[in-house]
Amino acid sequence: MGGDKRSHTISSLFLFFFLLSIPYPTIARKSSVSDNSSSSQHVVKYSPVDNYLIDCGSPEATVFSDGRSFRSDAQSASLLSTSENIQASVTSLSNSTTSNVSSSLLSSLPLYKTARIFGDESTYTFFISRTGRHWIRLYFFPLPHSLYNLTTATFSVITDSNVLLHDFSLPNNSYVLKEYLINVTSNRFSLKFQPQSKSIAFINAIEVVSAPDTLITDTATTVSPAGSFNGLNNYALEVSYRLNVGGPPLTPYNDTLGRTWEPDSSFIKSPILAQNVSVSPKTVEYPSTGASPFIAPNLVYSTANEMAMANVTEPNFNITWELKVDSTFSYLIRLHFCDIVSKDLNDLYFNVYVNGMTGVASLDLSTLAGSLRTAYYQDFVVNTTQIVDGKIMVEVGPASNTAGSGTPNAILNGLEVMKMSNEASSLDGLYTPDGSYMGSTFTKLKIAAAIGLAMGVMAMLMLATVFVRWQKRPPDWERRKSFSSWLLPIHATGHSSFMSSKSWSRGGLGSKSKNKNGSKNGNSGLYSSALGLGRSFTFAELKEATRNFDEKAVIGVGGFGKVYLGEIGEDETKLAIKRGNPSSEQGITEFQTEIQMLSKLRHRHLVSLIGYCDENSEMILVYEHMANGPLRDHLYGSNLTPLSWKQRLEICIGAARGLHYLHTGAAQGIIHRDVKTTNILLDENFVAKVSDFGLSKTGPTALQTHVSTAVKGSFGYLDPEYFRRQQLTEKSDVYSFGVVLFEVLCARPAINPALPREQVNLAEWAMQWHRKGLLEKIIDSHLQGTISSGSLKKYVEAAEKCLAEYGVDRPSMGDVLWNLEYALQLQEVSTKIDPPEDNSDLITLQLRREKDQNDDHASTTPATVAVNDDSGIVNSTLFSQIGGFQGR
């Protein structure tokens, strides 16, 4: 064993220097050879380039009969970094407690016998010689220990870009193998164990192992509508189930890639309808493309379940497998087929259903695989909306009425279900790798309830403070525009100048300038936070204001609940009253988030929170009423007077200011995540204010119905880079704002499924016309001839940059703002020269200027932002891909 250890260390050292000394292409070629050579052989082991196997806490290496050698704790110490006050410990399990475990588990049992315990955040860092998909396997078993109770350990496991486990804990006596397929894109991969405060973390064994490139392709099939899903490479995967249908359990020893396969018997809905069949594994063939021994070993393809004909008179039924899953995630489902039941070609045709929807109608293995006993597989993606009752259901049944041809039968040889990472890049909950909470779907009720309670107590304390201050207010408080007036802005809405309109980007903070604490965000003290919470309304007050929440007073509906128009006080001040649905658990966090967020943020171009009501477990937020409603209503789909170009520019500038403030003004940048024309509201003077920040809506609007809930944001506005890499930055808002700019210019929805395919997506379509130099043809007909060419050019330039493929190429909101203001200036200058009535002249002038500018276009860009000119093209392919998933 000692010799093994040494040779292992030596070979990895050698590999390391080897990698340092040879140019990259050589490595690539080397590994692709090792990928391909296998498809001609049947029992092959893959030699992974990266192969880290660690038996944590073990005093010595653990070597398996298949040759895998797990390093001891000491041998892996160099990979681990922990903070100084760590209490590391080794613990081990006696052989006696391991009776009664399943056979597949038995094979890896030695790994569970020791563990390493972390008292503080600790990270394993691995050098990755070849980027691509890697298996991450984590072995957990809460061993008994004299000092630490591992069954109460609660911790998270986080990689550089994904959350694998969030606040994870294990019940007594549970052996857990968590298996992931992560696309590692850099040469360092880290695995962070993060105990919850006052808790500990532990791990029994770790594998970080290269997987063949061919294992997961970028595309899969979608069901309902049938189509293709692209971009699988952007998702981290967690193996939920891997079943060897109709066959025995398979251990890492039996598998080409060290996988474990469970038998399927406990997942078949009516076992009486299925019977197992098998052939000699050696007779299984692999085609030259597609399935390979890496996709699944021949032991999987050589067994199957087929329809049990003997039990029925009429062979017309489905065999059904049901697997419990978490319906807040999308899943990748891989079905393995191999016709081991037919005597001749073209005798077996059957239907495949996934979650009740047709996956493949009349699957014809003879044609697909080319010969009998030949492996074939197909991948399907189902999104959250397609998962009913928290289960994945796979059904196979004979294709009906195939005109006498074929024996009615249906088979399945293998079934894999993999969870896909969500919008938070997480495979467990909605916390992103950097710890921020995303979205509204509620995962950890108890925690939120605790937070809610804590916040409630805090709110009461703050209110008490506020109340005392309010009692002590000076008699002339209203005139002094001091804090108190700010505390109750409801009185100020009458004289809307209470916030100086000069206080642009730091806006609302201007009004806080009397706050002597001098901190930049003005929120650090209890003092101002208390103020931020606004006024507490009584339920009776709000009930009266909305005439008992009259349906006629509803002015909007969101995932959170309904928004009512209310009138309050003697002066009948209008308010927007958002009432959370008390039965929705999701609401609690949103409610907290919204109050928290809004209390931090004050800006002329953000919708102000006036107060709230939490009586009788109500969750009601009271906002200033925005008399002119959403921007979208003024662009299309209503009978409102069309806005002039100048008005539109001013509105865009206002919204850009609001977003700029969100990104830069607050203590930490805040990403809106759902910038769209329905979230830009207009007050009585058409001043634009951004709304709904911090409040994630779950309720789809009419246009959102096709949005996969796995991706937060609204389809059509969604940053393609965010979609691909699931890394959210403020540049995602910039992208969405670019779409808004085109929406304002062209007066049509971001997505209009009723239009011909190439026109469905506004961003894509507008960029096409822009590249052809014909953008004028698609601008809102109400604007035709009223826009000065300089202004239009500047505006489109800004919009185009916002839509850049990569976030880094997009301008900041500040730059966008600058461009829009410039566009406004150009418009104002031109209207002084050319009166808008004189349309014909304006157009000719426009064309002439356009021509002049094209002649020396290099010198006409005063903006300092780098632009990728091809971006739109790449962009549009991505969008059609997303379109393929959602729409076709």
Amino acid at 235: Y
Nearer to ligand NAG, 108 or 761 (CB): 108
Residue 110 near ligand NAG by CB under 6 A: no
Residue 102 within binding range of ligand NAG, rule CB under 6 A: no
Give the DSSP letter of residue 1: -
Task: Verify binding: residue 806, ligand NAG, rule CB under 6 A.
Answer: no
**270 is a site residue for ligand NAG (CB under 6 A):** no
User: What are the φ/ψ torsions at residue 634 (nearest 5 degrees)?
Assistant: -95, -5
How many Å apart are CA 788 and CA 391, to the nearest integer? 57
Q: Is 108 in the site for ligand NAG (CB under 6 A)?
A: no
Q: 179 or 395: whose CB is closer to ligand NAG?
A: 395
**Closest by alpha carbon to 678, among 713, 641, 639?**
713
Q: Is 784 in the site for ligand NAG (CB under 6 A)?
A: no
Smallest distance, ligand NAG to C-beta of residue 295, A = 18
Member of 194, 210, 254, 426 binding ligand NAG (CB under 6 A) = 254
Nearest to ligand NAG of 308, 451 (CB atom) = 308
Among 251, 696, 714, 871, binds ligand NAG (CB under 6 A): 251
User: Judged by CB under 6 A, which of 219, 276, 853, 860 binds ligand NAG?
Assistant: 276
Question: Can you tell me the distance from the alpha carbon of 713 to that of 729, in angstroms, rounded to the nearest whole number?
Answer: 13
Instruction: Tell me which amino acid residue 693 is.
Output: F
**DSSP string across 620-674:** EEEEE--TTEEGGGGTSSS-SPPPPHHHHHHHHHHHHHHHHIIIIISSS----S-
| Window of 45-53, 194-202, 246-254, 571-579 that interacts with ligand NAG by CB under 6 A | 246-254
CB atoms near residue 3 (< 10 Å): 7
H or E element in which residue 735 lies: helix 730-746
- If one asks whether residue 316 binds ligand NAG (CB under 6 A), the answer comes out as yes
Among 119, 248, 271, 887, binds ligand NAG (CB under 6 A): 248
CB of 247 to ligand NAG, least distance (A): 5
Residues 6 or more apart whose CB falls under 8 angstroms from that of 253 comprise: 64, 65, 66, 107
CA-to-CA distance for 757 and 193, rounded, in angstroms?
Answer: 47
Q: Binding residues for ligand NAG, how many (CB under 6 A)? A: 18
Q: Of the candidates 40, 83, 173, 265, which one interacts with ligand NAG according to CB under 6 A?
A: 265
Vertex 266: Cα angle to 260 and 269 (nearest 5)? 130
Spell out a b/e string for 844-864, using b for 16 or more CB atoms within 10 Å of the CB, else e. ebbeebbeeeeeeeeeeeebe
> Which sign does the torsion angle of CA 160, 163, 164, 169 carry?
positive
Contact pick of 107, 114, 714, 875 for ligand NAG (by CB under 6 A): 107
- Do 212 and 294 meet the contact criterion of CB atoms below 8 Å apart? yes
Three-state DSSP at 454 gives helix
Going by DSSP bridges, is the β-strand pair 561-568/573-580 parallel, antiparallel, or unpaired? antiparallel
* 41 near ligand NAG (CB under 6 A): no
Q: Which is nearer to ligand NAG, 318 or 608 (CB)?
A: 318
* Shortest Å distance, C-beta 534 to ligand NAG: 52
State which residue, 349 or 879, has the beta carbon closest to ligand NAG.
349
CB-based burial, 133-160: b 16+ in 10 Å, e otherwise: bbbbbbbbbbbebeebebeebbbbbbbb
Give whichever of 79 and 223 is closer to ligand NAG, judged by the CB atom: 223
Q: How far apart are CA 205 and CA 108, in angstroms?
A: 10
**Is position 293 an interface residue for ligand NAG (rule: CB under 6 A)?**
no
Residue 154: closest CA among 145, 167, 144: 167
Q: In the set 395, 423, 719, 721, which binds ligand NAG (CB under 6 A)? A: 395
| 437 near ligand NAG, rule: CB under 6 A | no
Compute the least distance from the CB of residue 318 to ligand NAG, in Å: 4
Q: How far is the CB of 382 from ligand NAG (least distance, A)?
A: 14
> What's the chain's length in residues?
888
Instruction: Tell the burial category of 357 from Cβ atoms under 10 Å away from its Cβ (0-12, 13-18, 19+).
Output: middle
Q: Pick the piece of the chain touching ligand NAG (CB under 6 A) from 94-102, 247-255, 630-638, 643-651.
A: 247-255
Nearer to ligand NAG by Cβ, of 82 and 107: the residue is: 107
Q: What does the H/E/C string look like for 97-141?
A: HHCCCCHHHHCCHHHHCEEEEECCCEEEEEECCCCEEEEEEEEEC
Closest approach, Cβ 356 to ligand NAG, in A, equals: 4
Q: Which is nearer to ligand NAG, 247 or 580 (by Cβ)?
A: 247
Q: Which is nearer to ligand NAG, 142 or 397 (CB)?
A: 397
Q: Is 302 in the site for ligand NAG (CB under 6 A)?
A: no
Least gap, CB of 409 to ligand NAG (angstroms): 13
Which segment (243-251, 541-549, 652-660, 766-774) binds ligand NAG by CB under 6 A? 243-251
Q: Which long-range contacts (CB under 8 A, 24 or more apart) does 76-80 make?
A: 76/52, 76/124, 79/52, 79/54, 79/124, 79/125, 79/126, 80/122, 80/123, 80/124
Task: Let me know if 674 is a catalytic residue.
Answer: yes
Question: C-alpha distances in angstroms, 377 versus 283, 293, 761, 886?
Answer: 17, 12, 33, 23
Contact region for ligand NAG (CB under 6 A) — 213-221, 314-322, 574-582, 670-678? 314-322
Q: Looking at 129, 194, 318, 786, which residue binds ligand NAG (CB under 6 A)? A: 318
Kindly state the smallest distance separating residue 303's Cβ from ligand NAG, in Å.
7
Q: How far apart are CA 94 and CA 88, in angstroms?
A: 20
- Rounded to a whole number of angstroms, the minimum distance from the CB of residue 365 to ligand NAG is 19
Given 50, 264, 339, 674, the catalytic residue: 674
Residue of 105, 184, 299, 606 interacting with ligand NAG (CB under 6 A) = 299
As a whole number of angstroms, the distance between CA 542 and CA 62 comes to 68
Piece of the chain touching ligand NAG by CB under 6 A; list 26-34, 248-256, 454-462, 644-652: 248-256
Q: Which of 48, 142, 359, 397 binds ligand NAG (CB under 6 A)?
A: 397
Q: Is 256 in the site for ligand NAG (CB under 6 A)?
A: no
- Binding part of the chain for ligand NAG, among 93-101, 244-252, 481-489, 561-569 by CB under 6 A, reads 244-252
The binding track of 348-377 with respect to ligand NAG, each residue x by CB under 6 A or -, is -----x--x---------------------
Q: Which residue has the tokens 């860009």?
A: 861
Q: How far apart are CA 46 and CA 258, in angstroms?
A: 9
Please list, in sequence order, all residues whose beta carbon lies within 8 angstroms of the beta carbon of residue 237, skipping any fewer than 6 positions away. Answer: 180, 181, 182, 216, 332, 418, 419, 420, 421, 427
Q: Is 212 near ligand NAG (CB under 6 A)?
A: no
Does position 831 bind ligand NAG by CB under 6 A? no
- Residue number with CB closer to ligand NAG (275 or 505): 275
User: Site residues (CB under 6 A) for ligand NAG?
Assistant: 107, 247-248, 251, 253-254, 263, 265, 275-276, 299, 316-318, 353, 356, 395, 397
Catalytic residues: 674
